[in-house]
Structure 1
Amino acid sequence: MDTKKELIIQAFENLDAEMLDVLLDDDRSYQDVPKQTFVDALKKHFAELRTYDDTKFDFKSYKGQCDFCQKGKSGYSFVNSEGQCYMSLVFEEDEDNFTDIYSCGSFVTEGVDVENTWIGISFFEEDKTDFRYSPEILSEEEKCLRGVAEIKGEVEENGILTSDFYIYWYERYEYLDPIKRLFEKKSYKYSEEIGHYLFVVRSVVTDFKKNDLAKSIYFEFLNFPVITKDAIIDWLIKADHALQYAKYGIGNECNFKQDYFEDKYFKYRLSELYYYHSVAEILNKYFDWIPETNPLTEADKGYGQYDDDQDLPF
């Protein structure tokens, strides 16, 4: 007869969160969260895994141990016949039961070649059993909620975001972006929504700030008497370097008559980015003439010339 611990391992192999709901102890915490929170995350994770096309669900458990954060603690990786690991877990145990279970990103698996490990489950700080609000966290939560309310209120009132609003809003709340906590290994539920809106608006803010530069580039293009590859190649390289990624097109739905463009979340005033959009359309039209490796961009490597680097917390 299988022991309780053996049944738990089998449930993980079979992606059977319902069985884990029965087997795991209600009065214990797992991965620092209540049992039910842990199981609910597994249910969601397993359901998503089952939507992956061409995945073999013949997962087996392979022993191993943590090599970093909980160095020496043992557990199992769950790996299928193609070497795909859906998660590695440390299992702390006593004689009859597992006393804790938590995912591990520094796991050394024994007895099998792991080709790839998928992202496992994680939790917000508020989910943890020992979470307590501090004055600093309460203040930050209030600011996040206020920022979300402001952008939602602007859309509800005007139906569109203009540069007068989104530049001010982004610069006011950018410091709350969860990406700036990348190395803290902590995430908070209250910052998730504002982080989403900051991500959505960031590209529009970046494009708007390049609109004046795009204007001068646009008028340079208008001075070409005839359009041939030889005639405009230097311009294409210069424009592609100055407006990185513009050559891939706008990717948004534009309504020129009503003067707006939109992504799947917001509408923005089209005329405020007229020159950036115009140059982007030109670059996209002559995409095949642009060198795959831009020589000006290559020359800048190592000198901190990339605007996108400003978004990283280092």
Structure 2
Amino acid sequence: MTPEQKDIIKQLAQMGEVVYVKKDGSRVLLNEEGKVPLQTNADAVFYFLERLDSAMLKLVLDDAHTYQDYDKKVFVKKLSYAFDELLSRGNTYLNRFEGNCTSNVCTNVHCQGFSFVGNSSQDYMDLILEIKNNKVTDIFECSTFINSETDLIKNEKICIDTLEEPF
């Protein structure tokens, strides 16, 4: 990107919300300085989930927490297998759509969560992210998730917990 293009993006970002669409089709929401605003741990977790980046999630998730009842190392490993599956199906990023858990048997009923939907295959993961003080303290899959957007196209569900380990 040329310096002139960067100046134009910065000027546009000062006028309102700007989404920069890269050549690969991935979208990045820019702040007023024309940069990606990752001000909190939760911002970073969302950003790296959407980018299918398990290496960066390993850095930003807290070692002291468990995620889906796994220690961080095991959870990130399982998540990376799910990301690999999504990438192998032609996805380069995930779009995030809000929704809620609708289960009557778990403690997360009505908890807010997100569908992370592949940009190419529309395969998806439904995740509940527990956030306290702008920090993600838990991430887990939801099997009875409903999205706020009713016309959302979701194809095959990719599960973190049930993917066979490759060895």
Partner of 1:115: 154
- Aligned-pair Cα RMSD in Å: 2.1
After TM superposition, list the pairs within 5 Å mapping 1:147-166 onto structure 2.
Answer: none
Q: Distance in 1 between matches of 2:143 and 2:158?
A: 9
Deviation (angstroms), 1:103: 0.6
Aligned-partner residue type, residue 92 of structure 2: F
Q: Distance in 2 between matches of 1:80 and 1:40?
A: 19
After TM superposition, list the pairs within 5 Å mapping 1:22-33 onto structure 2.
Answer: 22-33=59-70
Deviation (angstroms), 1:80: 3.3
Q: Which residue of 34, 52, 61 corresponds with 2:96? A: 61
Structure of larger gyration radius: 1
Q: Distance in 2 between matches of 1:80 and 1:51?
A: 11
Deviation (angstroms), 1:72: 0.5
In structure 2, relative to structure 1, the CA distance for the partners of 1:108 and 1:115 (3 Å cut) is: same
Q: Which residue of 32, 36, 47 corresponds with 1:10? A: 47
Aligned-partner residue type, residue 158 of structure 2: I
Q: Deviations over 1:142-165 (max 9, x none)?
A: xxxxxxxxxxxxxxxxxxxxxxxx
Is the CA contact 1:63–1:109 (under 8 Å) kept in the aligned structure 2?
yes
Q: Which structure shows the bigger proportion of residues in helix conformation?
A: 1
**Unaligned runs of at least 5 residues, structure 2:** 1-36, 163-167
Secondary structure at 1:5 match in 2: helix
Q: 4+ residue stretches of structure 1 with deviation over 2 A?
A: 55-58, 80-83
Partner of 2:25: none
Q: Which residue of 137, 142, 155 corresponds with 1:104? A: 142
Q: Which structure shows the bigger proportion of residues in strand conformation?
A: 2
Q: State the TM-score, normalized to the length of structure 2.
A: 0.66
Deviation (angstroms), 1:85: 3.6
In structure 2, relative to structure 1, the CA distance for the partners of 1:7 and 1:62 (3 Å cut) is: same
The total of aligned residue pairs comes to 122
**2:114 matches 1:79:** no
Aligned-partner residue type, residue 71 of structure 1: V
Is the CA contact 2:81–2:160 (under 8 Å) kept in the aligned structure 1?
no
Secondary structure at 2:88 match in 1: coil
**Unaligned runs of at least 5 residues, structure 1:** 124-314
Q: Distance in 2 between matches of 1:119 and 1:81?
A: 14
Deviation (angstroms), 1:115: 2.9
Q: Distance in 1 between matches of 2:156 and 2:142?
A: 11
Higher RCO, 1 vs 2 (CA within 8 Å, ≥6 residues apart): 2
Secondary structure at 1:18 match in 2: helix
Q: Which residue of 109, 127, 149 corresponds with 1:89? A: 127
Is the CA contact 1:83–1:113 (under 8 Å) kept in the aligned structure 2?
no
Q: Distance in 1 between matches of 2:85 and 2:120?
A: 18
In structure 2, relative to structure 1, the CA distance for the partners of 1:118 and 1:41 (3 Å cut) is: same
Partner of 2:34: none
Deviation (angstroms), 1:33: 0.9
Deviation (angstroms), 1:81: 4.3
Aligned-partner residue type, residue 31 of structure 1: Q
Q: Deviations over 1:218-252 (max 9, x none)?
A: xxxxxxxxxxxxxxxxxxxxxxxxxxxxxxxxxxx
In structure 2, relative to structure 1, the CA distance for the partners of 1:71 and 1:83 (3 Å cut) is: farther
Deviation (angstroms), 1:82: 5.5
